[in-house]
Structure 1
């Protein structure tokens, strides 16, 4: 096992709980379309594959017109990015863990399918931006997770080889992207997974972000 030299994090469902703000934006959009509102659990089941897929799932679930999806995605982004961090919070232990990882000398990155502008806005609002040397959003490259390209782009920026890196996420596309990039993968057991956590194929499951620090310290010293 190669010593750990860098860690990449997913955002939604891993570092931050953004479901309430996403629900609010979805419901504003649905109200404009005269469609029914969706509850928090419904929205959580729709999160994870980027904004377009979230809007598609919400519109489909409420009987809307999917032929207008591109315009609805644009409108959703207008609504969401205006209030992307109103209710969004970092999960317990996240900031302390990030600070600890940086104190170990580990460079960190965020690779998310959320648009870059909204990602930066949330990280800045929560005081987390300074911990990350690289941020790759869902619109940064032509490809998104589960494609390995975003992870490989982050690693290039961090100056770390795939075999010396770790991806931490909450969903199947995080693990798939890590596998495709040759990176080891951990999954958190909270968040917005669309599958049972045991079926994600991760190298390890962690129940809280605080569990990561001692594991990373041992791996970095290996």
Structure 2
């Protein structure tokens, strides 16, 4: 499989381009403390699962009668936590090199548009860098359903055979496979290699530098840590 010539590269956001783990956990912690008078994470609720779920889905599990209230509190609180958002080292350079090479880069995330734009701003990656950005508001379905990825590809006027999807979680691998394109899994995000290998991605990489190499761009400064 040749990924270096694929024209359309679609990316997950959290755990792939930006490290939002600390910001998300802090936001939930504040909402749980201030609104539910309880600790976060709740018992028997793996933190890793949060990054595959929308906030409303999380609140539907822990307080199904207060979803709207808690989701609103989450939206209001998240901007206060953005100092904790980091961009993975080398990611900005990789994205810019892909664009400079004439390739189309897009974001497809389960996250809402407002928080997506906040994260990209903190990361120093202008939204207009991307051909399109697909967020939670754009499809009823979320990954692992292929609809968000296919919408992003359609907006970019791309074809499945000329595209690949990059993500850090099982839901990303499953969505890419269902969409009919190669899945590139990164282990520097929220899921470890063992979990990702269980879902058999087409390619698995351990750092932004390795990701850049897999995509055929020279991002020698990419080292894997968050900036």
TM, length-normalised to structure 2: 0.83
* CA deviation string 1:173-194 (max 9, x = no partner): 1111111111111000121228
Alpha-carbon contact 1:101-1:213 (below 8 Å) kept: no
Tell me what 1:203 maps to: 202
Distance in 2, Cα, partners of 1:36 & 1:124: 30
2:117 is aligned with 1:114: no
**Which residue of 74, 80, 83 maps to 1:83?**
80
Tell me what 2:171 maps to: 173
1:8 is paired with a residue whose SS is strand
2:144 is aligned with 1:146: yes
1:155 is paired with a residue whose SS is helix
Distance in 1, Cα, partners of 2:171 & 2:93: 26
2:39 is aligned with 1:36: yes
2:165 is paired with a residue whose SS is strand
Q: Offset at 1:46?
A: 2.2
Q: How does 1:57-96 map to 2 (within 5 A)?
A: 59=62, 65-80=63-78, 82-83=79-80, 85-96=82-93
Tell me what 1:62 maps to: none
TM, length-normalised to structure 1: 0.85
* CA deviation string 1:50-93 (max 9, x = no partner): 22234456x3xxxxx3332333222212212x335221011122
Q: How many residues are treated as equivalent by the alignment?
A: 210
* CA distance 1:19–1:56, shift in 2 (3 Å): farther
Tell me what 2:220 maps to: none
Distance in 1, Cα, partners of 2:81 & 2:170: 24
Tell me what 1:157 maps to: 155
- After superposition, the CA RMSD in angstroms is 2.3
Q: Which runs of 5+ in 1 are unaligned?
A: 60-64
2:50 is aligned with 1:46: yes
